[in-house]
Structure formats: C-alpha cells, structure tokens
C-alpha cells in the first residue's frame, strides 16, 4: 500500500517535471501562458481607456435666430457630451453634413422658439441623432435632458416670481432635489465597465487554448513526451493532476498580473480583497483546465485550437451577461451560460472587484464554479481515458499518415 | 504522373475540405452557430424588467404612491423591498438587483413643510445596459413625482392650470435615435458582430489551410501542380473556400436583413456588393498575414489576435474619435471597419452611395495586399520548413 502511494507521488512528480519542460520549450503554448495574458489586456484596455465619449459633433439648424435659441445652442455646446461644430442654413444642408459623416446629430430649432419662452408656452426643439453607435446617442440624450432642465429651472424661477410672489418658496430653489449615484464604476466609464469581465475571459481562454494546444502537440508527436507504448505510462488521473499543477504553477504570476496589476495600471475600480479574489478564481481555473482537457478530445493537431476555439470568446463574452444581462436571456441560453465557467467567473469577479462584495456574498457563483470544476474534471477524465490516451498510445503519426493519403 | 493545373489543385482543395471535419466546423458549424446565437440572444431588443429594489424609509402615503408608480414602469421590476441602504447595497453586491431607489425618512412631512427632502437613486454601473435603463426609469419617476408636487403647490397658491403645464417643462428638447427608434440592441450589435465573426473565421481558415501545406510538406507539390506559379497555386487552392465563404456571406446578409428583419433603408444591392467584396478583402488580408509570417502558428496567432481585437478596435460600440488617436488609426487596417461603415450608410441610414465610395475602394486595396507578399510565400513554400 505504502509502496503504491509512493509510486503515485513519483508519477505525479514525473508528469509535473515533464510538462514543465514541454511548456517551456514550446513557443506556441508560451504565447498562451505568457504573451496573451500580459500583452492582450494592455492593448484591450488602451482601446477603451478614454472611458467616456466626449464632444460628439453636431450641427444646428436654427430657424428662430433669437437670443434664447442661441443660448440653447451655447448651453449644448458647453456640455461634456456634445460639440456644436456649426450652423446649417436648412435641413438639407444639415443632412448633407450628417451623410458625409461630419456630424452625428442635428438640432432643429423651430421658428418661434424664443417667442414661446417669453410668452410662457412650452418651447420645443428636436434633436435627430444618428443611431449606429448607442454611446453617441446616449451622450446626446444626456446633454439635451440636462440642458432643457437647466434652462427650464431658470425660466421657472423668473416666471413664478412674476406670476405669483406667494409661490416664492418653490422658486428659491429645488423643491425636491434628485440625486443619482453610480455604484461600482463611479465614472460611468466604458473601460472600467467592460475590462474587469474581459480580464477573466482572457484568463479562461488562455487556459483552454494552452491545454488544447498541449494535447494537440502530444497527439501529433507522442514520441516527444516518451509515450512510446513500451514503457509504463503514468495513470490518467496522475497525468491530469500533474499537468494541472504544472499549469497552475505557470499561471500564478499571470493571474496576479491580470487581477491586480492591470486594474492598478489603468485605474479600474479595485474594491475587492485580493486574497478572496484569488480564492474565488481557483475553481474557475480548475474548471477551465477541465474544459481544456475535454477539448483535447477533438484537437488532433496543435494549430486546430485557433480555428476551433478562438471564436468562442465572442460567445462566452455574451453568455457572461456583461453586455446582455443574464436575467433577460431565454431559458435555453441561460442554461448554456450556466455551463460555462467564465460566466460565473466574470460575474463574481465583477462583484468582488468592482462592487466590493466579499467571498460570502458571491457564494452562489463560488459554489457553481466548484460544481462546474467537478463536472468538467470528471468529463475530462473520461475524455482523457477513452479518447486521448488510446489515440496517443496507438502510436505516432496515425493521423498524419491518414492525412497525407488524403492529399 | 499526378495531374497538374488549375483544375487539379481545385479538386484537391475541395477534397481536403470534405475530408477534414475541422473545416466543416470552421466553415459551417461555428459561424452559423454564432449567427443564430447573437441574433437569438438579443431578440427582445432591450432587456426590460431590470431587477431593482425600493428603500422606503418613510412609509407615508406619498412615498407609497412613488413606489407604485415606479413598480408600474415597463423597464423595472421591483423584486426586493429593503429596509435600509445597507441592506439594498448588499443585495446589489450579491447581484440580486441592479439598483435601488431611496426615499428618506420623514419624506412626506419634509416635503409639505418645504424642507426639501432629497430623493436619491443608485445604479450599478458595472453592468452598463441594465444600469442605463434603470437610470432612465428612476429619473423619469423622480421627475414626475417632482412635477406632481410642484403642480399641487402652484395650484394651491392660485396659479391657473394653463400656465402650470408649460412652467413644469418650459424648454423641451426631444432626442430621437433615427432608424433605430426603439434602441433595439439586436440591430445595434448583430449588424457589426456577425460580420466580424465571419472575418475572424475567414482569417483563421485561410491561414490554417495555407500553413497546412507547409506543415505536412505538400507545398512543393502544390507549386509543382501549379507549374511554379504562386498566383495560380493560391488562386486554385483558395477558390473553393471563396465559394463557400460567399455562400455563407450571402446567407448572413439574408439572415440579418430578411429573416431577422434588421432595417435596410438603402439598397440591398450595395450591401450585397459589400459582402462579396468583404469576403475577398478578408481573404486578401489573411494571405497578407501569411506572407508576413509564413508559419502556421504565427499566422494563426496574428489572425486570432486581430480577429478578436476587431470586435473592439473597429469601434462598434466605442466611437473611434473618442479613442486615443494612436490606437484609433488601427481600425482602418481591418476589412470589418469598412463593412461596418458601409452597413451604417447603406443599410441603416440609407444615404447616397456617393458618401460610401471610399470604403469600397478600401476593399480593393485589401484584395491587392497579397501581391506584395507573394514572393515570400513562394520562397517558404519551396523551403517547406515547419516550425512548431
């Protein structure tokens, strides 16, 4: 019994060392383990780093040409969101500016705008926004709402004093101030919104891609790693465990870099407890490794991983609920998203890192991750035991020879 | 003696595609799944009924009527009733709600006494879409409440009715999102993301199939079959793929504009021309990658990197003029950027083709790109060295 246990430890150690050597000498896998987690988040963060959309161009068609209409345009131009690049004589000219991509909105002020304000009637103006990018439209909406409210409050104060001096109480200030506070991502920045989730997704995909490529490499050249069918092989469980420990060792630094230094560099919200975040991510890493080992079942050669797996990043991004919230998904898609470790990883990490939740508060995500880890590892064992191992043991180049016949 | 010539290479290439399941996955299963997934996921247009909470610390008749009003709004679902700010914040951290609306203690009393109670609402901006919808709903409710109170105060001091209404909103600027008035998310995202999936797959498959020739030592044979002409070799090898991609691209177009009914305000003819040129442009770009890195892994890495980055850098959601200039310029080196711009002009906005002319020219440039690198591909196909 004791001899047996010792031999298991020996097997584990052998696999661990062998995998380490293989990874270090394989530039393809190193790209996934080192280059991707280090460079990719930086590029990605830089794209969105300006965070907010400022000064989107618009033109004005002012059919009123009064002091009030000019004041409206001045106020709009002064907002953070909008930038009045000029006046157009009429709508066709403004349309031409929009069609040739010089501006993204047209403000049309009708004749009589100023006169209506002075008369105490409601003065209307219309802003036509180009709707290809919702962030631009959102900016215009915020700007126009804020400006119409500010101008309205001013006019109201003037008027009320004129009509009914008794109502002075409400004209001296806001009757019922309304305050809104953004939680988590307090600047409403786009980078701070999307990046924490993307970081976890990058980690998830790095692990699956690397594991897939390692599997492909072995199936292509079993001789590389001593799988010669003559010597004893370490058991499937020990092989998986050894590989997992090896990959986790390599991943420690990239993970710390991803969850700590990237948010630090780009000033993303960092409200979470670092140790708890690492604890939270552990089952996700294990589940992703299990997914990678299962993926090995259909990877016949190293480079297939790109073709077969890269596009899933887009699917996983949407399944994680970052863009389209999970409560609004159809039951089927919600079920699919429940099966992806990245979903829970992204959700929990955002809550911990951005909203400052503790590990106890994300216990639902944490438990789900452990359950997924167990399921994927069990599935991975089956795939390794009955698909990958036999195909490796069948001898080298069985696939290659089949393929060269095809060509 | 094996047959040579264009037709022989073509047949060989077809057989390669038919015999390897990985090509079936890359040509059909993955792209079609993504088309279906993206459009079906967002089929509702907007994620209405955002889970939210009410923190009513007043409990007066007025505060309850605010709760009722809020509960009746289309976009919000008041799933929780919290007793304190802390409780609501914890619910938000646990992910049960995306925001909450707080009515302070003695709200009704303070309001009637003119002590100006502050109404505060909190939205979890880590989830942009639900939080923005919630923000809008909360703000509208708060504004209506305020207007109602102002109205009753003004009435009580004897201001006539017809004067009150314009006083509440003297200046009204309506903001209209033209051509997507409902802010339908499927229209907004699928029109850019679905072609971007196609671009990614074209990049990957083109580089993969070319790299395979070198990896398995068949590239010399390929060149021999093409009588040493690299143009002929590549054209014949990639033509079957082009045909498949064209079918997929045209299916994609009908999937979006006919089956899902995304708006087309311009002419479908220009969109069709755009999709066809897009396929050629993507293939051209991929051959160019392979020309720079005639190595299976490197060219696939570049394809994957740029293919995935395209989703962000082609400015589908964050506008290019807001990016750093040094980053934003990279969006112009991607075929998908031009596909996106032509879609905006010709499908969404329906402007005259004159305004999109430059982008069709850009497609042509992508198609010409491979010719700058043919020498390198040929050299490497002759050397036939595989680096893992």
Identify all chain B residues contacting A121, using CB atoms and an 8 Å cutoff.
166
Q: Look-up: residue for tokens 């036509």? A: A128
Residue A96 burial by Cβ neighbours in a 10 Å radius (0-12, 13-18, 19+): middle
pLDDT (mean) for B244-257: 96
Identify all chain A residues contacting B168, using CB atoms and an 8 Å cutoff.
152, 156
Helix (H) or strand (E) holding A401: helix A398-406
Q: CA–CA separation, B157 vs B162, rounded Å?
A: 14
Q: Which of B21, B106, B159, B170 to mutate to test the interface with A (most CBs of A within 10 A)?
A: B170
Strand, helix or coil at A55? coil
Q: Sorting pLDDT into bands at 50, 70 and 90, what band is A405?
A: very low
Asked whether residue A403 carries a pLDDT value surpassing 60, the answer given is no
Residue A226 · residue A18 · CB < 8 Å: yes
Report the candidate in A168, A56, A89 with the shortest Cα–Cα distance to residue B320. Answer: A56
Report the candidate in A312, A339, A194, A315 with the shortest Cα–Cα distance to residue B38. Answer: A315
What ranges do the domains of chain A cover? 2-49+187-406, 56-171
Residue A185 · residue A354 · CB < 8 Å: yes
Question: Which of A87-101, A386-400, B4-18, B278-292 comes out lowest in average pLDDT?
Answer: A386-400
pLDDT (mean) for A291-320: 94
- For the domain covering A56-171, report its CATH number: 3.40.1710.10
Closest CB to A188: pick one of B125, B145, B176. Answer: B125
Asked whether residue A250 carries a pLDDT value surpassing 80, the answer given is yes
pLDDT value, residue B134: 93
Residue A56 · residue A105 · CB < 8 Å: yes
Asked whether residue B160 carries a pLDDT value surpassing 50, the answer given is yes
Asked whether residue B114 carries a pLDDT value surpassing 50, the answer given is yes
Strand, helix or coil at A56? strand
pLDDT value, residue B144: 86
Is beta strand A56-62 parallel, antiparallel or unpaired with respect to B76-82?
unpaired
User: Which span out of A9-13, B75-79, B197-201, B314-318 was modeled with the highest average pLDDT?
Assistant: B197-201
pLDDT value, residue B378: 94
pLDDT digits (tens, 9 = 90+) for A193-205: 999 999 999 999 9
Asked whether residue A69 carries a pLDDT value surpassing 70, the answer given is yes
Residue B377 · residue B230 · CB < 8 Å: yes
Q: Sorting pLDDT into bands at 50, 70 and 90, what band is A228?
A: low
Which residues have C-beta within 8 Å of that of residue A115, sequence separation ≥ 6? A64, A66
Asked whether residue A171 carries a pLDDT value surpassing 80, the answer given is no
pLDDT value, residue A235: 85
3-state secondary structure chain B: CCCCCHHHHHHHHHHHHHHCHHHHHHHHHHHHHHHHHHHHHCCCCCCCCEEEEEEECCCCHHHHHHHHHHHCCCCEEEEEEECCHHHHHHHHHCCCCCEEEEECCCHHHHHHCCCCCCEEEEEECCCHHHHHHHHHHHHHHHHHHHHHHHHHHHHHCCCCHHHHHHHHCCEEEEEEEECCCCCCHHHHHHHHHHHHHHHHHHHHHHHHHHHHHHHCCCHHHHHHHCCCCHHHHHHHHHHHHHHHHHHHHHHHHHHHHHHCCCCCCCCHHHHHHHHHHHHHHHHHHHHHHHHHCCCHHHHHHHHHHHHHHHHHHCCCCCCHHHCCHHHHHHHHHCHHHHHHHHHHHHHHHCCCHHHHHHHHHHHHHHHHHHHHCHHHHHHHHHHCCCCC
Closest CB to B114: pick one of A126, A169, A177. Answer: A169
What are phi and psi for residue B52, nearest 5 degrees?
Answer: -145, 175
Residue A57 · residue A83 · CB < 8 Å: yes
3-state secondary structure A289-308: HHHHHHHHHHCCCCCHHHHH
Q: Which of A123, A158, A303 to mutate to test the interface with B (most CBs of B within 10 A)?
A: A303
A99–B127 CB contact, under 8 Å: no
Query: Residue A271 carries which DSSP code?
Result: -
pLDDT value, residue A169: 55
Q: What is the mean pLDDT of chain B?
A: 92
| Total beta-carbon pairs less than 8 A apart between chain A and chain B | 356
pLDDT (mean) for B202-221: 94
Identify all chain B residues contacting A101, using CB atoms and an 8 Å cutoff.
355
Asked whether residue A38 carries a pLDDT value surpassing 70, the answer given is yes
Question: Which of A153-167, B117-131, B255-269, B349-363 comes out lowest in average pLDDT?
Answer: A153-167
Percent of chain B with pLDDT over 70: 99
Q: Which of B21, B89, B117, B177 to mutate to test the interface with A (most CBs of A within 10 A)?
A: B177
Query: Residue A226 carries which DSSP code?
Result: T
Return the structure tokens found at B75: 């976009």
Q: Sorting pLDDT into bands at 50, 70 and 90, what band is B223?
A: very high
pLDDT value, residue A163: 67
Sheet containing strand B171-178, edge to edge, reads A82-87, A56-62, A105-109, A123-130, B171-178
Percent of chain B with pLDDT over 90: 80
Asked whether residue A2 carries a pLDDT value surpassing 90, the answer given is no
pLDDT digits (tens, 9 = 90+) for B310-337: 999 999 999 999 999 999 999 999 999 9
Report the candidate in B2, B23, B25, B3 with the shortest Cα–Cα distance to residue B14. Answer: B23
pLDDT value, residue A226: 59
Distance of CA A344 to the CA centre of its chain: 13
pLDDT (mean) for B59-79: 92
Q: What is the ipTM of this complex?
A: 0.94
pLDDT value, residue A4: 55
pLDDT value, residue A406: 45
pLDDT (mean) for B284-312: 94
pLDDT (mean) for A216-240: 75
| Residues forming beta bridges with residue A87, ordered by sequence position | A60
More confident residue, A62 or A1: A62
Residue of A nearest to B128 (CA): A193
Find residues 98-137 of chain B whose CB sits inside 8 Å of chain A: 98-99, 111, 114, 116-132, 135
More confident residue, B150 or A267: A267
B121–chain A nearest CA distance, Å: 5
Degrees, nearest 5: CA angle A384-A391-A336 = 45
Identify all chain A residues contacting B336, using CB atoms and an 8 Å cutoff.
none
Q: CA–CA separation, B280 vs B120, rounded Å?
A: 55
Return the structure tokens found at B230: 């690299």
B322–A404 CB contact, under 8 Å: no
Residue B198 · residue B335 · CB < 8 Å: no
Q: Sorting pLDDT into bands at 50, 70 and 90, what band is A1?
A: very low
Q: CA–CA separation, A209 vs B297, rounded Å?
A: 13
Q: pTM for this structure?
A: 0.94
| Residues forming beta bridges with residue B172, ordered by sequence position | A124
The long-range contacts involving A224-229, CB below 8 angstroms and separated by at least 24 positions, are A224/A22, A225/A18, A225/A22, A226/A18, A227/A392, A227/A393, A229/A393, A229/A395
Strand, helix or coil at A359? coil
Asked whether residue A3 carries a pLDDT value surpassing 70, the answer given is no
State the number of CA atoms in the 13 A half-sphere of B353 facing the CB.
9
Asked whether residue B299 carries a pLDDT value surpassing 70, the answer given is yes
Q: Sorting pLDDT into bands at 50, 70 and 90, what band is B353?
A: very high
pLDDT digits (tens, 9 = 90+) for A21-30: 889 988 889 9
User: Which span out of A2-11, A125-134, A230-239 was modeled with the highest average pLDDT?
Assistant: A125-134
B178–A141 CB contact, under 8 Å: no
Q: CA–CA separation, B309 vs A33, rounded Å?
A: 18
Asked whether residue B234 carries a pLDDT value surpassing 90, the answer given is yes
Q: Sorting pLDDT into bands at 50, 70 and 90, what band is A49?
A: very high
Distance of CA B215 to the CA centre of its chain: 35
Identify all chain B residues contacting A44, using CB atoms and an 8 Å cutoff.
309, 312
Return the structure tokens found at A246: 């090896």
Q: CA–CA separation, B80 vs B90, rounded Å?
A: 12
Asked whether residue B51 carries a pLDDT value surpassing 90, the answer given is yes
Q: How many CB atoms lie within 10 A of CB A145?
A: 16
Return the structure tokens found at A134: 């919702």
Q: CA–CA separation, A389 vs B285, rounded Å?
A: 39
B126–A176 CB contact, under 8 Å: no
Asked whether residue A398 carries a pLDDT value surpassing 50, the answer given is no
| Cα–Cα separations (whole angstroms), residue A333 to A131, A285, A316, B31, B212 | 27, 23, 11, 17, 35
């Amino acid at each position: 019994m004791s001899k047996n246990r010792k031999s298991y430890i020996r097997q584990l150690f052998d696999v661990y060392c062998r995998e380490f050597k293989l990874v270090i000498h394989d530039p393809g896998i190193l790209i996934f383990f080192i280059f991707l987690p280090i460079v990719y988040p930086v590029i990605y963060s830089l794209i969105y780093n300006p965070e907010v959309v400022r000064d989107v161009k618009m033109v004005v068609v002012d059919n009123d040409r009064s002091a009030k209409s000019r004041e409206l345009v001045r106020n709009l131009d002064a907002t953070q969101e909008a930038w009045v690049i000029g006046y157009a004589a009429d709508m066709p000219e403004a349309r031409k500016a929009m069609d040739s991509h010089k501006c993204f909105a047209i403000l049309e002020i009708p004749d009589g705008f100023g006169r209506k304000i002075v008369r105490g009637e409601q003065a209307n103006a219309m802003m036509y926004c180009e709707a290809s990018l919702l962030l631009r439209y959102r900016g215009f909406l915020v700007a126009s709402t804020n400006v119409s409210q500010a101008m309205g409050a001013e006019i109201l104060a003037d008027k009320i004093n004129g009509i009914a001096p008794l109502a002075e109480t409400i004209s001296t200030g806001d009757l019922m101030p309304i305050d809104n506070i953004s939680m988590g991502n307090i600047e409403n920045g786009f980078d701070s919104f999307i990046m924490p989730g993307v970081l976890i997704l990058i980690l998830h995909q790095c692990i699956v891609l690397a594991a897939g490529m390692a599997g492909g490499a072995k199936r292509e050249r079993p001789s590389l790693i001593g799988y010669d069918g003559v010597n004893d092989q370490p058991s499937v469980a020990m092989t998986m465990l050894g590989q997992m420990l090896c990959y986790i060792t390599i991943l420690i630094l990239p993970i710390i870099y991803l969850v700590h230094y990237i948010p630090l560099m780009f000033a993303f919200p960092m409200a979470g407890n670092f140790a708890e975040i690492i604890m939270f991510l552990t089952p996700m890493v294990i589940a992703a490794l299990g997914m990678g080992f299962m993926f090995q079942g259909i990877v016949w050669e190293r480079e297939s991983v790109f073709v077969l797996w890269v596009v899933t990043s887009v699917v996983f991004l949407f399944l994680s609920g970052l863009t389209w919230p999970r409560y609004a998904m159809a039951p089927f898609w919600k079920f699919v998203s429940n099966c992806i470790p990245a979903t829970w990883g992204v959700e929990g990490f955002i809550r911990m890192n951005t909203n400052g939740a503790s590990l106890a508060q994300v216990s639902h995500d944490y438990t789900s991750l452990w359950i997924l880890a167990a399921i994927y590892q069990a599935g991975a064992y089956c795939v390794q035991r009955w698909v990958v191992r036999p195909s490796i043991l069948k001898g080298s180049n069985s696939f290659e020879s089949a393929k060269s016949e095809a060509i | 003696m094996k047959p040579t010539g264009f037709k022989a290479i073509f047949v060989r290439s077809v057989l390669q595609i038919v015999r390897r399941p990985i090509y079936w996955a890359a040509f059909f299963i993955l792209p079609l799944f993504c088309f279906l997934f993206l459009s079906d996921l967002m089929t509702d247009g907007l994620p209405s009924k955002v889970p939210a909470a009410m923190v009513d610390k007043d409990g007066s008749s007025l505060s309850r009527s605010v709760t009722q009003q809020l509960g009746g709004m289309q976009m919000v679902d008041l799933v929780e009733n919290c007793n304190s700010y802390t409780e609501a914040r914890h619910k938000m951290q646990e992910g049960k709600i995306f925001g909450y609306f707080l009515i302070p203690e003695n709200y009704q009393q303070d309001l009637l006494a003119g002590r100006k109670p502050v109404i505060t609402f909190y939205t979890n901006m880590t989830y942009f879409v639900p939080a923005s919808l919630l923000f809008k709903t909360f703000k509208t409710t708060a504004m209506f409440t305020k207007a109602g109170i102002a109205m009753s105060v003004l009435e009580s001091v004897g201001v006539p009715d017809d004067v009150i209404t314009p006083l509440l909103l003297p200046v009204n600027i309506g903001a209209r999102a033209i051509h997507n008035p409902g802010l339908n998310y499927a229209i907004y995202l699928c029109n850019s993301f679905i072609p971007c999936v196609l671009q990614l797959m074209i990049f990957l498959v083109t580089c993969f199939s070319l790299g395979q020739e070198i990896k398995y030592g068949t590239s010399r044979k390929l060149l021999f079959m093409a009588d040493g002409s690299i143009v002929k070799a590549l054209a014949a090898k990639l033509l079957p793929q082009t045909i498949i991609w064209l079918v997929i691209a045209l299916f994609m177009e009908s999937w979006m504009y006919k089956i899902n009914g995304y708006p087309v305000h311009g002419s479908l003819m220009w969109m069709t021309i755009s999709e066809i040129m897009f396929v050629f442009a993507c293939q051209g770009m991929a051959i160019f990658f392979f020309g720079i890195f005639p190595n299976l892994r490197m060219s696939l890495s570049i394809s994957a990197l740029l293919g995935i980055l395209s989703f962000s850098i082609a400015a589908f959601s964050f506008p290019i003029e807001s990016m750093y200039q040094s980053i934003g310029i990279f969006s112009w080196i991607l075929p998908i950027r031009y596909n996106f711009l032509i879609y905006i002009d010709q499908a969404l906005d329906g402007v005259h083709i004159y305004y999109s002319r430059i982008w069709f020219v850009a497609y042509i440039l992508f198609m010409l790109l491979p010719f700058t690198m043919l020498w390198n591909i040929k050299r490497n196909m002759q050397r036939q060295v595989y680096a893992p």
